[in-house]
Amino acid sequence: MVNEKMKKTSPSIDEWLKEAKADPMALQEGMFLVHNGVVRQTPKAKVRQGLDDGSLVKGMEFAYDAVKVDAAVAETYKKEGIFHVRVWLNEGQLEVGDDIMYVLIGGDIRSHVIDALQSLVEKIKSECVIEIEQKM
């Protein structure tokens, strides 16, 4: 098992956006993007590499390194035009359909926000988390 923690309650994106828009930096922001990753039934190897062993995912053990996530967030704030970054990661035993993560990015223009979101989610997925799929 990755850890002994129980999965967490997902945040309210409406509340996140209200908080972000109340920040004085919001006056410089023209766009917010939200990423919501969820546990899917299709195995990662099939989706990403086309490898189909006939199995389906029934759940996942999920953990993350908070120090690495904080560093990734700090790095994202250094990107041009980015003024708001918020990340929530679940943990423990997750089931199909459960939220894995939420990421909110606010910035000045679309290209900056899209690039920052893509970069941060990739860094989190590749360097900060452990996902162990459990198959049927």
pLDDT in tens, 58-90: 999 999 999 999 999 999 999 999 999 999 999
Task: Find the farthest-apart pair of alpha carbons in the chain and give their distance in angstroms, rounded.
Answer: 51
Full-model pTM: 0.90
Tell me the pLDDT of the chain averaged across its residues. Answer: 93
Asked whether 6 and 92 are in contact (CB, 8 A), the reply is yes
Predicted confidence at residue 29, as pLDDT, reads 96
- Tell me the C-alpha to C-alpha distance, in Å, between residue 87 and each of 117, 124, 133: 11, 10, 22
Burial of 8 (0-12, 13-18, 19+ CB in 10 A): middle
d(CA 38, CA 42): 11
In this prediction, the residues of the chain whose per-residue pLDDT falls under 50 are: 1-3
CATH H-level, domain 13-135: superfamily: Molybdopterin biosynthesis MoaE subunit (3.90.1170.40)
Helix (H, G, I), strand (E, B) or coil at 14: helix
Q: What are 7's two structure tokens?
A: 């999965």
